[in-house]
Structure 1
Amino acid sequence: MVGLDHEGKVKYVLAESIIADETGKSYVITLRKGVVAHDGQPFTADDVLFNFKRIVDGNLQGATTIGPIDFAATRVLDARRLQLVFQQPFSILVETLAGLPFYFMAARSWREDNVVGTGPFRFQDFQPGAQSTFVRNEHYWDEGKPHLDAVTVLNMSDEITQVNALLSGQVDAINYLSAQAVPQLQAAGMVLTISQTGGWAPITLPTNTAPFDDVRVRQAFRLLVDREQINDVVYGGYGTVANDVFAPYDPASTTFPQRERNLDEARSLLKSAGHDRLSLTMITNDVVPAQRSVAQLLAQQTKEAGVDISVQFENATTFFANSYLKTTNMAQDYWYYVPYLANAAGATVPGAPFNATFFNDAEYGRLYESAVTTSDAGRQAEYVHQMQQIDYDRGGNVIPVFYPIIDATSSQVGGLAKDVSGWPLGNWNFKELWVER
């Protein structure tokens, strides 16, 4: 329905317009003309309603971030218009729909064994652990796109395999590369697209467990981190030094004084909290590149202040099965860019479904409720500022760097743009790509 452009601004996709009434509780969503699903059937307001019910009734990822929908009052007005009604004002519907849980708008004929959507490519084949194939959607609403006849996504176990596949001509594009891969690919004449992004991979401090239930310890950790070194050593200087507050491209975001490493102040805070020395475990993973490298460098940095961190690696399968949203140890998370309030709904408000720090701040929660129920943009921006001040002062996420996205393609590939989303290949924007053979 809604997406983000390459600069992080909200844009309509399947929706032509989304207009709220004066109460902020009721929206009319109007679909653009000519949207057809993969099975050739018109995609209508009934399909949009089906998706909201599918997500909420199925308690899927977006169920707790969308706001309380009043399905009894919600109704289809005609083939292109849905009146979506909430139980209370919900002013961030458009931003929320730009998030990942709402990317896939399924047709009512969708089943697990019959994947029918509206995107530029339709599903053809899936080989677990090997590859997925998608073919051009001849019914796609955006005239002239996609340019490609098909896209095959290969699963590759490591970066060396990716690089060799590109250099040998086995593949046309590779993604999620480390800075260390750049010189070899440049020397071989490959095309590098390096995006500065709003994607963030925080060090998560479990605020419900000692020692991180003491705000002084959380504040100390913010001062232990050498952010510039992490950016230079791990990300090759391609990232953007961050300040423990997410959503840098949100118009309401606040700029705070940049934190600098201060070991003396960090030691003082730890001592006042009763922790002259600390021995901790940090769980790292390979969900995205550089996670393990960040953890290892952090362990070196904190040792200078008497904090010993044992880094424990888990592959993605083990991490999500055993540790994510469960561990009482330090860990790492991964977020792409979305506007602040939509991101907070998933990550940091009390009861958020992906609150990896277990942050449960009543004031923060009240500010969020005030922000999403007001239609006054100025007041909402002030609530966001106050929430971000809490993130900055006492939140559980340490965000050293907004990570870069490094993609590489052969010289035959065109159409790839830099993108701030934190997703590779222009926010998976395959519909814009072409290949000259």
Structure 2
Amino acid sequence: MPLPRRTLIRSTGALLGTVGAGSLLAACGGSSDSPGAANSPTPQATSGTPRKGGTLRAVFAGAGAEESLDPFGGSSPADFARNSVIYDSLFVLKEGAPEPALATAAEPAADGMSFTLRLRKDVLWHDESAFTADDVAYSFRYMSSPDRAAPSELQMYFDMQKVTVKDAHTLTVRTLQPIGDPATMLASFPAKMVKNKATDFSAKKAIGTGPYRVAAFEAGRETRLTRFDQHWGGASPADELVFSSVSDPQARVNAVRTGQADYAGDIPFSTAKAGVGGSGIAIRTAGAANRTSFAFVLNANRAPFDDPKVRRAARLAIGRTQLVETVLLGYGAQGNDLFCKGARYFSEARPLKRDLDEARRLVKEAGADGAKVVARSAEYETGYNDSTKLFVQQLREIGLDAQEQVVSIAEFFDPKALAEVNSVTFSSSPLPLPVMYGRLAAYPSFTLPDKEFQGALKEAMAATTDEKRRTAWAKAQDVMADRGNTVVWGLADILSLARTNVAGIEVHDQAKYPYLGKAGLA
């Protein structure tokens, strides 16, 4: 089921990590060494324990007037981070695995064609009314409505319009294909719960079950949230959260430097490399398990990459060290051509070593010497275009007639254009494997038309036990590592800037949009 273009754009915004790479020219003009000890970020997880009380001020990239308190309406980092503490999900991702939130269990039927969803009891909405199964059924219908600009991708897997409410805390959900681990799917997409019949998400009407409720909201500027003491997970540390929306990364850095904010998400690598200066502030990293995979996805349905020999040649041509040092400025590590390092069941296959002679031999053996290759890119994330330039140069070295096709962000995911090119620059946070490969399979330009791979993917999606899932995912990734179409060259750090007394920031779904429900000042 191909995704509608607007759905792909929005979902890609959710799965991509804005990693803040410096420009290629700036990188080439300076040192290409790995970050020195003086500029090495500190782990977010070691930030300490927050005290009770006070106001935590956070600044994220926003979307101006496009921002929304509708959890299925906004698509900027500010929207995602803010709405994650207003609304709760049924499950959340922690360290790559689903963890119960509003739901306590999602029990699949033996054939995987339905599951029973069991809800947490004694959960209250911000107006202190009870959260029930009717709210979940409505939320499913609301998020998947065809009237939405970007309907939920869960509708690719679940029959969202035909949910059976069994009692106040139990529902049955039918699936459209065998799904053995529905909790992972529910945790992986923006499936925030909204109140039954809710249509108004203005500041006075936006009601969630999250640890904070809305006090004031001005799209593109500032949101003030106050603690909801009746939250099912316990009262949060800070009395108040203040979110500011600032698109310019340097302005976000300056907000922390000058004391206007305590925390800023998405810090450019070039800023980290230069050092932020000032006392009482530090660059932080979400850690190796939360890095963003940077890649080129080869169109295996179009020559010359329909030939596995040429796909392997492209992977052998990649100068991974050069890309990591030049594009990521050393803030990261080499990739092994597989997406989602840090996720459950990820294969730690060794990356191919660069071998131009073998790559040239494979290209000639496939009869692809001089074949035209168009590599499509847009500066959707900083570093896309710079990495594409280097990729094109490296493909030329092995005998391919490669050229870059740089377009605007608005044009980037046009389905017809994607089908006509040979490579698309792409990236992803460490999403669960079924989400990542399901998303790639939804677009013909991104999928791998390999029967063994498709069979393993189907097995992995339907498996109801950990052992079966592990075996199927190992098989699928073995194929991808051997003759796949994803060239994951680098793993980029997710950097932030914080005052040293900021504590309790967690990664639930994605590190780029940290969870501040347990955060505060130490």
Q: What is the TM-score of this pair, normalised by structure 1?
A: 0.85
Is 1:284 the counterpart of 2:377? The answer is: yes
Whether contact under 8 Å (1:203, 1:331) holds in the other structure is: yes
Q: Distance in 1 between matches of 2:247 and 2:232?
A: 32
Q: Which amino acid aligns with 1:174?
A: A
For each residue in 1:362-403, what CA deviation from the matched residue of structure 2 results, as whole angstroms up to 9, or x when unmatched? 443333222323324323322212211222223322111222
Gaps of 5+ in 2: 1-89
Is 1:225 the counterpart of 2:318? The answer is: yes
Report the CA distance between 1:264 and its aligned residue. 0.7
Is 1:405 the counterpart of 2:494? The answer is: yes
Is 1:346 the counterpart of 2:439? The answer is: yes
Is 1:81 the counterpart of 2:174? The answer is: no
Q: Distance in 1 between matches of 2:116 and 2:217?
A: 36
Is 1:364 the counterpart of 2:473? The answer is: no
| Secondary structure of 1:428's aligned partner | coil
Change (3 A) 1:85 1:284: closer
Q: Distance in 2 between matches of 1:334 and 1:187?
A: 30
- Percent identical residues: 24
Is 1:41 the counterpart of 2:129? The answer is: yes
Change (3 A) 1:42 1:136: same
Report the CA distance between 1:311 and its aligned residue. 3.6
Report the CA distance between 1:320 and its aligned residue. 4.3
Deviates more, 1:242-251 or 1:402-411: 242-251
Is 1:151 the counterpart of 2:242? The answer is: yes
Equivalences for 1:411-422 in 2 at 5 Å? 411-417=500-506, 419=507, 422=510
For each residue in 1:338-381, what CA deviation from the matched residue of structure 2 results, as whole angstroms up to 9, or x when unmatched? 2212322222x3xx1x5652433344333322232332432332
Report the CA distance between 1:152 and its aligned residue. 1.9
Q: Distance in 2 between matches of 1:155 and 1:413?
A: 20
Is 1:136 the counterpart of 2:226? The answer is: yes
Which residue number corresponds to residue 92 of structure 1? 181
For each residue in 1:112-150, what CA deviation from the matched residue of structure 2 results, as whole angstroms up to 9, or x when unmatched? 6454433334454343xx335252352533212262513
Whether contact under 8 Å (1:180, 1:236) holds in the other structure is: yes
For each residue in 1:243-301, what CA deviation from the matched residue of structure 2 results, as whole angstroms up to 9, or x when unmatched? 11123334433332331111111111111233333554433233233223322333343
Q: CA RMSD in A?
A: 3.0
> 1 or 2 for the larger relative contact order (CA 8 Å, sep ≥6)?
2
Which residue number corresponds to residue 118 of structure 2? 30
Q: Distance in 2 between matches of 1:202 and 1:48?
A: 36
Whether contact under 8 Å (1:198, 1:421) holds in the other structure is: no
Gaps of 5+ in 1: none
Is 1:176 the counterpart of 2:266? The answer is: yes
| Secondary structure of 1:393's aligned partner | helix
Change (3 A) 1:110 1:286: farther
Q: Distance in 1 between matches of 2:478 and 2:365?
A: 23
Report the CA distance between 1:325 and its aligned residue. 4.8
Deviates more, 1:18-27 or 1:330-339: 18-27
For each residue in 1:39-89, what CA deviation from the matched residue of structure 2 results, as whole angstroms up to 9, or x when unmatched? 443221111122233344538232344345693xx4222222223344664
Residues matched between the structures, number: 422
Q: Distance in 2 between matches of 1:191 and 1:396?
A: 39
Is 1:160 the counterpart of 2:250? The answer is: yes
Q: What is the TM-score of this pair, normalised by structure 2?
A: 0.72
Which residue number corresponds to residue 117 of structure 1? 208
For residue 515 of structure 2, the aligned residue among 426, 429, 432 is 429
Whether contact under 8 Å (1:201, 1:334) holds in the other structure is: yes
Which residue number corresponds to residue 387 of structure 1? 476
Which residue number corresponds to residue 358 of structure 2? 265
Whether contact under 8 Å (2:340, 2:429) holds in the other structure is: no
Q: Which amino acid aligns with 2:480?
A: D
Change (3 A) 1:355 1:420: farther
Deviates more, 1:305-314 or 1:289-298: 305-314
Change (3 A) 1:162 1:318: farther
For residue 13 of structure 1, the aligned residue among 101, 106, 123 is 101
Q: Distance in 2 between matches of 1:215 and 1:116?
A: 52
Whether contact under 8 Å (1:199, 1:420) holds in the other structure is: no
Whether contact under 8 Å (1:148, 1:431) holds in the other structure is: no
Whether contact under 8 Å (2:291, 2:491) holds in the other structure is: yes
Whether contact under 8 Å (2:337, 2:489) holds in the other structure is: yes
Whether contact under 8 Å (1:235, 1:403) holds in the other structure is: yes
| Secondary structure of 2:115's aligned partner | strand
Change (3 A) 1:39 1:362: farther
| Secondary structure of 1:260's aligned partner | coil
Which residue number corresponds to residue 54 of structure 1? 142
Report the CA distance between 1:4 and its aligned residue. 1.4
Is 1:204 the counterpart of 2:323? The answer is: no
Q: Which amino acid aligns with 2:115?
A: Y
Q: Which amino acid aligns with 1:193?
A: R
Report the CA distance between 1:225 and its aligned residue. 0.8
Q: Which amino acid aligns with 2:234?
A: E
Is 1:242 the counterpart of 2:335? The answer is: yes
Q: Distance in 1 between matches of 2:393 and 2:222?
A: 40
Change (3 A) 1:421 1:44: closer
Is 1:66 the counterpart of 2:154? The answer is: no
Q: Distance in 2 between matches of 1:120 and 1:223?
A: 49
Q: Distance in 2 between matches of 1:420 and 1:402?
A: 19
Displaced runs of 4 or more, over 6 A = none
Change (3 A) 1:140 1:29: same
Report the CA distance between 1:405 and its aligned residue. 0.4
Whether contact under 8 Å (1:341, 1:384) holds in the other structure is: no
Q: Which amino acid aligns with 1:167?
A: R
Report the CA distance between 1:321 and its aligned residue. 5.8
Q: Which amino acid aligns with 1:246?
A: F
